[in-house]
Amino acid sequence: MRHTSRIGWVGLLGSGALLGLSLVGCGRPAPTSTASAVQGQQATGARCARRHGSVGPVRVDDNREGRPLALARLQDRTLAFVADEDDATLHTVDLTSGKEIALTPLPGAPAQVLVLKDGRVAVTLRDRNQLQILEPTANPENPLDSLCTVELPTEPIGLAASPDDRLVLVTSGWGQALSALDGDSLRVSFQVPLAREPRAVVVSGDGSTAYISHVVGSRASAVDLGTPEHPVRTVDLSGQDPNLAQPRRRNLVKAVGNAFRAESPRNNRSACQGFALTRSSDPQGRIFAPQVLVDPGNAEVPSGGYGDGFMASEVASVGVIDEASGETIRASLQLRPEDGQLHMATRECLLPRSAAVDPSRKSLFVSCLGGDTVVEYDAAAPNPHGAERRRWSVPAGPTGVAVDGLGHRLVVWSQFDQALSVVDLSEQATARRPVTLALSRKAKTAAEGDLALGRKIFHAAGNTAISQDGRTCASCHPDGRDDALTWSTPEGPRNTPMLAGRLQKTGPFGWNGSSSTVQEHLHQTFQRLRGSGLQEHELAALDSFLHAMHTPRLRAPAPGSEMAKVARGKEIFESADSACATCHRTDDAFIDRTKHDVGSKAKADNETSFDTPTLRFVGATAPYFHDGRYATLREMLLGHDGKMGRTSHLKPADLEALEAYLQTLLPPRRCAQRASCAYSPRGPCSPRSSPRGKPT
């Protein structure tokens, strides 16, 4: 399977739901942050400098945005460096000859690659928490040489360089941080805390501001690069939907029978799936944020499925940020009355993953992971999503796009099928199909067997076997995690749980504990989404993939005060006074496999008792509780009345210690060296798989 773990369905299971520290949900702004102390900096300097002079290719079109592939020019040849997460490899492809010419093995799974000003190549290794700096030799058919690595906060992903190349910026997804490195020495200059799940990063034309996309939170973040405090400002990307402004009548469920009730008027949709971001030089000063606008329904009213049910819950969108003002162009987020219609949903780009601009054509290109397409939009339109020009079908799993302006072509990396496609953009080539090159593949990777099938199903937007309105598993569980939303369901409000690393031995599943197996819960979920249902072998393949999804490689507490704080937090957690471990048993996946009434029944709930959720990875998936009522972990620890443990009375130092301990809770380690198996095709330290993909 390729493309690392992404996650599945909106209520896929509730057994992991309580999880998530971080700061916000899809519609909740998080507090802004200021620069923090540098984490994990490694002495670099001369170690990261070039050793072979100025030989080798240079970057194409002065591009300073990181992506899963980067283009470089060597005399009259155009090369593509392709980051292959499945095989932990950097492929070198000669686009001029259409051949793969070199393979560079990497110590971890690469997320993005960026060619620096002097030809060095920077690669984020998300499972190693490192940035690796490589150097090409005079012969492009040789693997790149490794110069150095830089330690960074957990899960480095996004890359960008400032216009003057003095700074290299890196986002850390799970670590919720932006790191700024000196462009020459690669020493970490400063780090800025961010809201949860940051991904792509671009820098304004004057170099003053870094813009960062977020997978959840209805936001982009704007970081001031020029002042010592580096304040963070939130850019709102939520959308205005005329369909939500009109009251609608809906069936209530079970207890209310055939009665009807008017829904409270709303007109905002939350923004999610913010994986991509790109800046335009023509039209000048526009920053594009491909995303999805979500209506999870009214949490105070039960529904027949997950969300409204009368219209598509998720609609594709391209937010546009005006670089001069730093504000969103509201017209870009305005949905039309016809948007969201169920019959249109299967063509929507519900899983946007990469974006690039061709200034010569004023075109924006977006790769759509779920539909295996690339869409071209008019980049000068007030609302690009409403100005689609054309689209192309490409091999499965398009996660990266790049524009070669000189060659008048678009290059697309399809991770699932491990293929590179080249689209001729010249006027006379309008009807031509993309030329596809299959890249080499290591044996026993995610590209094979049930895991490959399960991964494709997980991301298959528009599959009517799963849903009626185009949603797929990854719609609500991006990267195998959660969308930070609370959905209206037949049982009441349900907060989306993280799946990756939380399914092993944590049944029963669902917030109500109604499913004894994952497959049983999947079947119920597809019914509520009005899908026709998967075939037995497809369901088994999806189950295999869900159990093998990748998780972040969290750092161990540093010796000294940090380790002592975690030890104190563990002591509090296991104490009779707090009673946390009474239900979240440390010897059984932090659960007790029992339902409890802790006084958390919400207005629309039809039950009072809820299944005890696992606390694995509880540190970065806010909001908390089955209805998402607590925005932060601290808020939850202080907010309940003692029916669910006793923590609200703790002193600030003990609360801090308890939080520190909770953020260390991981699945049991199953391999001798975590680094060797994290982000492997089977997932970090997960059970081995048989040829059919079944855990053994």
Please tell me whether the overall predicted TM-score, pTM, comes out greater than 0.95 for this model.
Answer: no
Alpha helices in 379-461 (DSSP H): 449-458
Identity of the amino acid at 415: Q
Cβ pair 668, 586 in contact under 8 A = no
pLDDT (0 to 100) of residue 512? 86
CA angle 103/105/109 to nearest 5° reads 115
Pairing outcome for strands 492-495 and 486-489: antiparallel
pLDDT (0 to 100) of residue 429? 67
Using the predicted structure, report yes or no on whether residue 303 has a pLDDT greater than 70: yes
pLDDT (0 to 100) of residue 490? 92
| Contacts for 379 with CB less than 8 Å, ≥ 6 apart | 280, 283, 286, 288, 357, 362, 363, 364
pLDDT (0 to 100) of residue 686? 34
Domains contained in the chain, CATH given: 34-193 (2.130.10.10)
Pairing outcome for strands 373-378 and 99-105: unpaired
pLDDT (0 to 100) of residue 187? 96
pLDDT above 90: percentage of residues in the chain: 70
pLDDT (0 to 100) of residue 683? 35
Question: How buried is 127 (Cβ within 10 angstroms: 0-12 exposed, 13-18 middle, 19+ buried)?
Answer: buried
Rounded to an integer, what distance in angstroms lies between the CA atom of residue 390 and that of residue 401?
A: 15
pLDDT (0 to 100) of residue 14? 37
Cβ pair 83, 113 in contact under 8 A = yes
Q: Identify which has the larger pLDDT, 173 or 686.
A: 173
Compute CA distances 162 → 48, 156, 323, 636, 639, whole Å.
18, 18, 15, 40, 43
pLDDT band for position 30 (50/70/90)?
Answer: very low
Scanning the structure block, which residue is given the tokens 């700061």? Answer: 23
Closest CA to 477 of 149, 157, 5: 5
Question: How buried is 254 (Cβ within 10 angstroms: 0-12 exposed, 13-18 middle, 19+ buried)?
Answer: exposed
Rounded to an integer, what distance in angstroms lies between the CA atom of residue 602 and that of residue 488?
A: 12
Cβ pair 419, 395 in contact under 8 A = yes
pLDDT (0 to 100) of residue 289? 98
H or E segment to which residue 292 belongs = strand 284-294
Instruction: Give pLDDT tens digits for 201-241.
Output: 999 999 999 999 999 999 999 999 999 999 999 999 999 88
Average pLDDT over residues 363-383: 96
| Contacts for 329 with CB less than 8 Å, ≥ 6 apart | 320, 321, 322, 382
- Token readout for 323 is 């670089």
pLDDT band for position 373 (50/70/90)?
Answer: very high
- Token readout for 447 is 């590209």
Instruction: Give pLDDT tens digits for 499-534.
Output: 999 998 888 888 888 888 999 999 999 999 999 999
Residues linked to residue 303 through DSSP beta bridges, in sequence order: none
Cβ pair 31, 48 in contact under 8 A = no
- Token readout for 273 is 């799936």
CA count, 13 A, side-chain hemisphere, 562: 7
- Token readout for 128 is 């190693």
Query: 328-365 burial string, b = 16+ CB within 10 Å, else e?
Result: bbeebbbbeeebbebebbbbbbbbbbbbbbbeebbbbb
pLDDT (0 to 100) of residue 304? 87
Phi, psi torsion values for 546, nearest 5 degrees: -60, -35
Average pLDDT over residues 166-187: 97
pLDDT band for position 7 (50/70/90)?
Answer: very low
Per the prediction, the chain carries an average pLDDT of 85
Closest CA to 548 of 685, 666, 447: 685
Rounded to an integer, what distance in angstroms lies between the CA atom of residue 53 and that of residue 123?
A: 20
Query: 131-152 burial string, b = 16+ CB within 10 Å, else e?
Result: bbbbbbeeebeeebbebbbbbb
- Token readout for 351 is 């899983």
pLDDT (0 to 100) of residue 233? 98
Give 547-591 as a 3 state SS string.
HCCCCCCCCCCCCCHHHHHHHHHHHHHCCCCCCHHHHCCCCCCCC
Lowest mean pLDDT among 43-57, 88-102, 323-337: 43-57
- State the CB neighbour count (10 A cutoff) for residue 157: 25
- Token readout for 672 is 């001798």
pLDDT band for position 55 (50/70/90)?
Answer: confident
- Token readout for 190 is 């400063």
Scanning the structure block, which residue is given the tokens 């906060």? Answer: 153
Average pLDDT over residues 340-346: 66
Identity of the amino acid at 645: G
Question: How buried is 644 (Cβ within 10 angstroms: 0-12 exposed, 13-18 middle, 19+ buried)?
Answer: buried
Average pLDDT over residues 150-169: 97
pLDDT band for position 44 (50/70/90)?
Answer: low
Instruction: Give pLDDT tens digits for 537-596.
Output: 999 999 999 999 989 998 888 899 999 999 999 999 999 999 999 999 988 899 999 999
